[in-house]
Amino acid sequence: MRNLKSNTSSKQLVLPHIFACLCFVVGISNVFAADAFGGDERSAMRLPANDPRVAVSIAGEDRAYVLGQMRLFLANIQRVTAALGNNDLALASKVAAIAGAKNNEIDPSRPAALRAQQPDAWNQYIGKVRKGFDDLASTAATAPVSNSLSKLAGVTENCVACHQTFRIID
Ligand code: HEC
The predicted-structure confidence for 90-128, as pLDDT tens digits, reads as follows 999 999 999 999 999 999 899 988 888 899 999 999 999
What is the rounded CA–CA span in Å between residue 138 and residue 64? 30
CA of 110 to the centre of ligand 1 (A): 16
Q: Residue 1: pLDDT above 80?
A: no
CA 57 vs. chain centroid, Å, equals 23
Given a contact cutoff of 8 angstroms between Cβ atoms, the answer to whether 100 and 137 are in contact is yes
DSSP string, 33-97: HHHHHHHHHHHHHS--SS--SEEEE--HHHHHHHHHHHHHHHHHHHHHHHHHHTT-HHHHHHHHH
Report whether residue 126 contacts ligand 1, using a CB cutoff of 6 Å.
Answer: yes
Q: Which helix (H) or strand (E) holds 102?
A: helix 101-104
Pairing of β 54-57 and β 166-169: parallel
Top mutation candidate among 47, 58, 63, 70 for ligand 1, by most atoms within 8 Å of CB: 70
Report whether residue 67 contacts ligand 1, using a CB cutoff of 6 Å.
Answer: yes
Largest Cα span, the chain:
81
Q: Report the nearest-CA residue for atom 41 of ligand 1.
A: 159
The predicted-structure confidence for 9-68, as pLDDT tens digits, reads as follows 455 555 445 444 444 444 444 433 433 454 555 555 666 678 999 999 999 999 999 999
What is the rounded CA–CA span in Å between residue 16 and residue 73? 46
pTM (2 d.p.): 0.79
What is the rounded CA–CA span in Å between residue 90 and residue 95? 9
